Amino acid sequence: MAKRRRYTRTPIVRPKKYCRFKKSGIKYIDYKNPDFLMAFINEQGKLLPRRITGTSLKYQRKIAQAVKRCRHIALLPYVADQMK
């Protein structure tokens, strides 16, 4: 006889995400600083979604702009296999 399976859902407690720009009062994102922008792209060099980084929409737009500028001046790759 098959064992009866019970599905109980345990609530997952996760720390609340926050927008780091709002929290530390950063108004401008420097496109000349690839090390900083690394935090917002995955290992293929693609932009990470807001739902992962927790960034607010306003600053996500600025990040996207900064990353694109950084790519243009060849400080970040457009495509990469393993960059981290």
Q: Which parts of this chain interact with another protein (CB under 8 A)?
A: 5-10, 12, 14-15, 17-18, 20, 24, 26-28, 30, 32-36, 39, 52-54, 69, 71-78, 80
The nearer residue to another protein, 1 or 70, going by C-beta atoms, is 70
The nearer residue to another protein, 64 or 73, going by C-beta atoms, is 73
Nearest to 35 by CA among 70, 72, 73: 70
What DSSP assignment string belongs to 5-47? Answer: P----PPPP-PPP--HHHHHT-----TT-HHHHGGGB-TTSPB
The nearer residue to another protein, 52 or 57, going by C-beta atoms, is 52
d(CA 57, CA 3): 48
- Residue 12 C-beta: closest distance to another protein, Å: 6
